[in-house]
């Protein structure tokens, strides 16, 4: 089971050559900080967090979790989640990832939170978390998930993958000490 925390830099921070012309990159003070710029062409490498989305899919007071079949946090349970594709909204990403990992079609009920996270070793990530409900389907683990199950909000498996998920679920426990999660 993996639960390590890392500040691993993204690919842009490790890159040594221009992606447009393959000449070396050099650090230059540009737009307020040192940035990698191509020694030959005009390319400047801007480094941004990746974008991801997660879904808190509820059924009464139960929360849908997947057991992660891939790193990071392989073997831990976590929310259905994944990186946002270029061309889709965060909400669309949450819906697609939930369908891919659980076989369930969901409807977004509301925005829960947005977090800047540092515990994904692949990249620093902005995660948008939605509250959602099932509209169709039967839970079947697939894609990055090796298991899919509902857990009571008060008895979630530990350690849960990703700090952002732990924060959101702790907040829901405080906001809804009893009854359905709304
Ligand atoms: Zn270049």
Those residues with Cβ within 8 angstroms of residue 157's Cβ, 6 or more apart along the chain or in another chain = 65, 76, 77, 151
C-alpha 37 – ligand 1 centre gap (Å): 8
pLDDT at 70: 86
DSSP 39: S
C-alpha 26 – ligand 1 centre gap (Å): 11
SS3 for 128? strand
Q: Say if strands 125-136 and 50-59 run parallel, antiparallel, or are unpaired.
A: parallel
Global pTM reads 0.87
> Contact, 76 vs 68, CB < 8 A?
yes
C-alpha 23 – ligand 1 centre gap (Å): 5
- Residue in 147, 158, 163, 175 annotated catalytic: 147
* Residue among 131, 60, 143 at smallest CA distance from 102: 143
Distances in Å between the alpha carbon of 83 and those of 165, 170, 173?
A: 15, 23, 26
Q: What is the pLDDT along the chain (182 residues), one digit of tens a residue?
A: 443 443 556 677 789 999 999 999 999 999 999 999 999 999 999 988 999 999 999 999 999 999 988 888 999 999 999 999 999 999 999 999 999 999 999 999 999 999 999 988 888 999 999 999 999 999 888 887 788 999 999 999 989 999 999 999 999 999 999 999 98
pLDDT at 105: 98
C-alpha 44 – ligand 1 centre gap (Å): 8
C-alpha 17 – ligand 1 centre gap (Å): 8
For 99, list phi and psi in degrees, rounded to 5.
-65, -45
Quote the CA–CA distance of 132 and 101 in Å, as a whole number: 15
SS3 for 150? strand
pLDDT at 9: 62
For 58, list phi and psi in degrees, rounded to 5.
-110, 155
Q: Is 158 a catalytic residue?
A: no
């Amino acid at each position: 089971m993996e639960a390590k925390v890392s500040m691993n830099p993204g690919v842009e921070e490790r890159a040594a050559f221009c992606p447009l012309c393959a000449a070396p990159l050099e650090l230059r003070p540009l737009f307020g900080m040192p940035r990698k710029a191509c020694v030959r062409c005009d390319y400047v490498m801007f480094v941004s967090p990746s974008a991801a989305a997660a879904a808190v899919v509820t059924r009464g007071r139960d929360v849908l979790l997947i057991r992660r079949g891939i790193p990071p946090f392989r073997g831990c349970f976590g929310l259905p989640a994944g990186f946002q594709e270029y061309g889709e909204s965060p909400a669309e990403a949450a819906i697609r990832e939930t369908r891919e990992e659980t076989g369930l079609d969901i409807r977004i009920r509301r925005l829960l939170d947005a977090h800047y996270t540092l515990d994904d070793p692949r990249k620093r990530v902005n995660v948008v978390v939605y509250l959602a409900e099932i509209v169709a389907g039967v839970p079947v683990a697939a894609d990055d998930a090796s298991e899919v199950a509902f857990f009571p909000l008060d008895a979630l498996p530990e350690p849960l993958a990703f700090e952002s998920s732990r924060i959101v679920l702790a907040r829901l426990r405080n906001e809804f000490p009893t009854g359905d999660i709304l």
